[in-house]
Amino acid sequence: MTLQDIRDTRVWRSVFRGGSGATNLRRSMAIQQNVFLHLASVKARERALQFSVTWYLGTLSFGTFLILVVTGILLMLYYHPSVPQAYADMKDLQFVVSAGVFLRNLHRWSAHTMVLLVFAHMFKVFYRGAYRKPREFNWVIGVVLLIVTLLLSYTGYLLPWDQLAYWAITVGSNIMSAVPVMGQKVRFLMLGGNTVNANALLRFYVLHCVILPLAAILFIAVHFWRIRKDGGLYTGHKESQ
Amino acid sequence: MPEDDKTQPTRREAFIKLGVGSVVAACAGAAVFGYSYLSPNVLYEPSPIANAGKPDRYPRGSVTQDLEAGIYIVHGPEGFYALSATCTHLGCLTVWNADLGIIACPCHGSKFSEQGVKLEGPAPRGLPWLKVWLSDEGELLVDRASVIPPKQYLRT
């Protein structure tokens, strides 16, 4: 049985309606009719695929995000967001759970790497002038994604519930309360109280594991889709005219 | 449609206004609802009043830190007083250094005297003095929520 035979089966054709075949139409339909791939362009300029154009920084940022989602979901299976259980669970992940220390460290290093890559991606886009018309709105989406990335980093900081986490969030939330008029209120709502405590841990957990990742996925989808809508990746001032 | 009367809104316009108005009202209601849901009405936080025990636990000329309560009980020459141990910079817990005779913050290096006076930044202010009184059982009570002007001593 060849690959072509499998592609011609009724089951395969029910999933991939475009069918197979090495024509441009079939190839286009394979992209267009896939819910994930349809965010991307059917065609890309050869220049846009070269390393020097993007250094692949956006794709690498997305790669670290995928690693973080997978390792994060696995870490959630052993982690209780409660006081003082959270700290013990974190230590269990390090010393008791098989491969726990690997997953925890992978999550941690990917998080650091993602922040680094997102900044590098923004610098690359900025200094190449790729944010200019007609890509202004995608730059704005990118800024939102930077903020979401930093918030994910910050909320994840508290979850180990060790001394560093506790005092870092104490300091961070006090910085926030310096915002005029609403600073104290925002701090109270974010911590769910006046001090960094069980409520704060739970709120940060929900933000870190549900709300912020959903926001990130939503804005990443728009970000990718806008690349296509804005005429593909910016490859230099000559091509974009 | 009858003749266009520019001053009278059509039925459709009126319904659009009603619809938009309802959505705006629903959004405002959701904002109020969300805000009140997210503000806890009951907090299981420790009471601001801390019991520091019998005054004779503190010899004259001593600075004692209560780590749990986040306060200092000082028995100075003029009497007792209590200082908040929370740094006025960004809320870290300071520590009493008996060798140097200062209160120091580990986070960003602020320094205070045993009277709470700021010796070195980045803290913007000195450590606040807290209300101290004796309970009926003769124990020192400190209200961490009520700041008093400095130099008010409790004599026992």
Enumerate the residues of chain A whose CB falls inside 8 A of the CB of residue B40: 192-193, 199
Taking an 8 Å cut-off on Cβ atoms, the answer to whether A170 and B45 are in contact is no
Which pLDDT score is estimated for B2? 55
Residues of chain A contacting residue B43, judged by C-beta atoms under 8 Å apart: 193-194, 199
Q: What are B2's two structure tokens?
A: 């009858």
- Residue A172 Cα, gap to closest chain B Cα (Å): 8
- B24 CB-contact burial (10 Å; exposed 0-12 / middle 13-18 / buried 19+): exposed
Half-sphere exposure of A99 (CA within 13 A, CB side): 6
Q: What is the pTM of this model?
A: 0.87
Q: What is the mean pLDDT of residues B100-113?
A: 92
First to last CA, chain A: 49
Nearest 5°: the CA angle B33, B38, B44 is: 135
Is the bond preceding A81 in cis, omega lying within 30 degrees of 0? no
State how far residue B41 is from chain A, nearest Cα, in angstroms. 10
Mapped onto helix, strand or coil, the DSSP state of residue B156 is coil
Which secondary-structure segment (H or E) carries A103?
A: helix A100-128
What is residue A238's predicted lDDT score, i.e. its pLDDT?
61
DSSP string for A164-199: HHHHHHHHHHHHHTTSTTTHHHHHHHHHTSSSSSHH
- H or E element that contains B64: strand B62-66
Q: Is the pLDDT of residue B15 over 90?
A: yes
Q: How far apart are CA B73 and CA B76, in angstroms?
A: 9
Return the percent helix, strand and coil in chain A, to nearest 5.
70, 0, 30
**Which pLDDT score is estimated for A14?**
86
Q: Could you list the pLDDT tens digit for every one of the 241 residues in chain A? A: 788 888 888 888 888 876 667 788 888 888 888 888 889 888 888 888 899 889 999 999 999 999 999 999 999 999 999 999 999 999 999 999 999 999 999 999 999 999 999 999 999 999 999 999 899 999 999 999 999 999 999 999 999 999 999 999 999 999 999 899 999 999 999 999 988 999 999 999 999 999 999 999 999 999 999 999 998 888 876 654 4
Residue A185, pLDDT score: 93
B90 and A CB contact within 8 Å: yes
Has residue B71 got a pLDDT over 60? yes
- Residue A241 pLDDT: 43
| Residue of B32, B42, B43 for testing the chain A interface, max A β-carbons within 10 Å | B43
Averaged pLDDT for residues B149-153: 86
Q: With respect to CATH, is domain A56-234 assigned 1.20.810.10?
A: yes
Q: What is the pLDDT of residue A237?
A: 61
Best mutation site among A182, A189, A196, A206 for testing chain B: the one with the most B CBs within 10 Å? A189
Residues of A with Cβ-Cβ distance to B90 under 8 angstroms: 170-171, 174-175
CB contact A195 to B (< 8 Å): yes
**Could you read off the pLDDT of B45-59 as tens digits, one per residue?**
888 898 888 888 888
Residue B1 has pLDDT above 70, yes or no: no
What are the residue ranges spanned by the domains of chain A? 56-234
**Residues in a beta bridge with A172:** none
Residue in chain B nearest A166 by alpha carbon: B92
Nearest beta carbon to residue A171 from set B40, B45, B91: B91
Q: Residue A45's pLDDT is what?
A: 86
Report the distance separating Cα A148 and Cα A158, nearest Å: 16
